[in-house]
């Protein structure tokens, strides 16, 4: 598997049962292809960066032995994770695929990994700050925006985000008075 730029396609939430299955929260629109029998994914750290094996320095891969729908995600069984004790060690890990193996975002979409570094402006075009990171809640993504007054968290949804320009790397934000103060 190539190791060029990658995108997070899922996150291991927790162990499930006693046979090594893990609950995977999906960050992809194509889970059936990405988590198909025999598919491989790279393992990342909880912060979303790729995580090489600490002893060998080699990127770790997990091979899918089985996957099935579970709540809002999947239950996945990976080769080498044989019981609950081993599965617990993977909690919080991100799962990655090389970008060149994914369908590109459609018009009006972007990948989550593209958010950091995007400039944020208000509807009049005035600078608000820059996206320094993001995190996901059950309600959706939240942007961490570095502003002159410090870091501010703003939901990435239609109530706040007027538009974004993927190519120009700009997000237009219409935040209620006081949110960015």
Q: For 136-160, how does the pLDDT look when each residue is reduced to its tens digit (9 = 90+)?
A: 777 888 999 999 989 999 999 989 9
Which CATH number applies to 112-173?
2.30.30.240
pLDDT at position 163 is 93
| 4 pLDDT tier (thresholds 50, 70, 90) | confident
Interior angle at CA 52, CA 47 and CA 56, nearest 5: 155
| Domain 6-101 grouped into CATH 3.30.56.10 | no
Quick check: 124 and 53 in contact, CB under 8 A?
no
pLDDT at position 39 is 95
Chain position carrying tokens 């799962």? 95
Q: Does residue 181 register a pLDDT over 80?
A: no
Dihedral class, residue 178 (left if φ above 0, else alpha if ψ from -120 to 50, else beta): left
The residue count for the chain: 181
d(CA 135, CA 139): 11
H/E run at residue 121: strand 119-121
Q: Considering the chain, what is the average pLDDT of its residues?
A: 90
Biggest alpha carbon distance in the chain? Answer: 56
Tell me the three state secondary structure of residue 84. Answer: helix
pLDDT in tens, 12-52: 999 999 999 999 999 888 899 999 999 999 999 888 888 88
d(CA 69, CA 74): 5
Interior angle at CA 141, CA 136 and CA 145, nearest 5: 105
| 1 pLDDT tier (thresholds 50, 70, 90) | low
Q: What is the pTM of this model?
A: 0.72
pLDDT at position 50 is 87
Quick check: 170 and 119 in contact, CB under 8 A?
yes
The CATH 2.30.30.240 domain(s) of the chain lie at 112-173
The CATH 2.40.30.60 domain(s) of the chain lie at 6-101
Bridge partners, 69 (sequence order):
74
pLDDT at position 3 is 64
pLDDT at position 78 is 97
């Amino acid at each position: 598997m190539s190791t060029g730029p990658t995108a997070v396609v899922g996150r291991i939430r927790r162990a499930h049962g006693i046979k090594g299955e893990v609950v995977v929260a999906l960050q992809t629109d194509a889970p059936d292809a990405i988590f198909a029998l025999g598919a491989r994914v790279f393992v990342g750290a909880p912060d979303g960066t790729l995580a090489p094996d600490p002893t060998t320095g080699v990127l770790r891969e997990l091979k899918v032995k089985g996957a099935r729908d579970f709540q809002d995600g999947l239950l996945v069984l990976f080769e080498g994770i044989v019981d609950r004790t081993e599965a617990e060690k993977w909690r919080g890990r991100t799962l990655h695929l090389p970008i060149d193996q994914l369908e590109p975002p459609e018009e009006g979409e972007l990948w989550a990994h593209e958010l950091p570094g995007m400039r944020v402006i208000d509807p009049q075009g005035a600078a608000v700050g820059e996206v320094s990171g993001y995190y996901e809640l059950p309600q959706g993504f939240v942007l961490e925006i570095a502003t002159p007054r410090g870091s501010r968290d703003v939901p990435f949804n239609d109530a706040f985000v007027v538009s974004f320009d993927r190519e120009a790397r700009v997000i237009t934000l219409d935040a209620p008075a006081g949110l960015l103060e």
